[in-house]
Structure 1
Amino acid sequence: MQDQLKVAIIQSDLAWENPKQNRKLFSEKIKSIAKAVDIIVLPEMFATAFTMNAKAVAETMEGKTVSWMQKKALKTGAAIIGSLIILENNKYYNRLLFVEPSGSISTYDKRHTFTLAGEHKVFTAGSKKIILEYKGWKICPLVCYDLRFPVWARNVENYDVLIYVANWPKPRVVAWDTLLKARAIENMSYVVGVNRVGLDGLQIEYSGNSAVYDVLGNAISNIKPHKEQVEIITLERSHINYYRNKLKFLDDKDAFTLI
Structure 2
Amino acid sequence: MALELKIALIQAPLIWEGPTANRAYFSNKIANCSGVDIILLPEMFTTGFTMTPENLDREEGRLTLEWMQQNAKKSDAALIGSLPFYENGNFTNRLFFVKPNGAYHAYDKRHTFTLAGEDKVYNAGNDRLIVLYKDFRICPMVCYDLRFPVWARNDDAYDVVLYVANWPLPRINAWDTLLKARAIENLAYCIGLNRVGTDKSGHEYPGHSAVYDCLGERIAYSEEEEVVFATLSKEHITITREKLKFLDDRDQFTLLG
Same fold (TM over 0.5): yes
| DSSP-derived class of the 2:49 partner | coil
2:123 matches 1:124: yes
The residue that corresponds to 1:186 in the other structure is: 185
Q: Distance in 1 between matches of 2:196 and 2:43?
A: 12
The residue that corresponds to 1:254 in the other structure is: 251
The residue that corresponds to 1:200 in the other structure is: 199
Name the CA shift for 1:167/1:81 in 2 (closer, same or farther; >3 Å).
Answer: same
> Which letter does structure 2 place at the counterpart of 1:254?
D
Once the two structures are TM-superposed, the CA of residue 158 in structure 1 deviates from its matched residue by 2.7
The residue that corresponds to 1:17 in the other structure is: 17
> Which letter does structure 1 place at the counterpart of 2:248?
D
Once the two structures are TM-superposed, the CA of residue 59 in structure 1 deviates from its matched residue by 4.4
Once the two structures are TM-superposed, the CA of residue 258 in structure 1 deviates from its matched residue by 1.1
> Which letter does structure 2 place at the counterpart of 1:178?
T
Once the two structures are TM-superposed, the CA of residue 58 in structure 1 deviates from its matched residue by 5.7
TM-score by length of 1: 0.96
Name the CA shift for 1:182/1:25 in 2 (closer, same or farther; >3 Å).
Answer: same
> Which letter does structure 2 place at the counterpart of 1:194?
L
> Which letter does structure 1 place at the counterpart of 2:235?
S
The residue that corresponds to 1:111 in the other structure is: 110
Does the 8 Å CA contact 1:60/1:88 hold for their aligned counterparts?
A: no
Does the 8 Å CA contact 1:113/1:119 hold for their aligned counterparts?
A: yes
Name the CA shift for 1:135/1:9 in 2 (closer, same or farther; >3 Å).
Answer: same
Number of residues of Structure 1 aligned to a counterpart in Structure 2: 256
| DSSP-derived class of the 1:111 partner | coil
> Which letter does structure 2 place at the counterpart of 1:251?
D
Moved over 4 A (4+): 58-62
> Which letter does structure 1 place at the counterpart of 2:50?
T
Map 1:115-154 onto structure 2 (within 5 A): 115-154=114-153
Deviates most, 202-211 or 153-162: 153-162
The residue that corresponds to 2:230 in the other structure is: 233
Cα RMSD over matched residues?
A: 1.4
Q: Distance in 2 between matches of 1:250 and 1:175?
A: 24
The residue that corresponds to 1:209 in the other structure is: 208
| DSSP-derived class of the 1:212 partner | strand
> Which letter does structure 2 place at the counterpart of 1:247?
L
Once the two structures are TM-superposed, the CA of residue 231 in structure 1 deviates from its matched residue by 1.8
**Which blocks of at least 5 consecutive residues in structure 2 are unaligned?**
none
Name the CA shift for 1:60/1:127 in 2 (closer, same or farther; >3 Å).
Answer: farther
Q: Distance in 1 between matches of 2:187 and 2:49?
A: 30
> Which letter does structure 1 place at the counterpart of 2:199?
D
Q: Distance in 2 between matches of 1:60 and 1:159?
A: 33
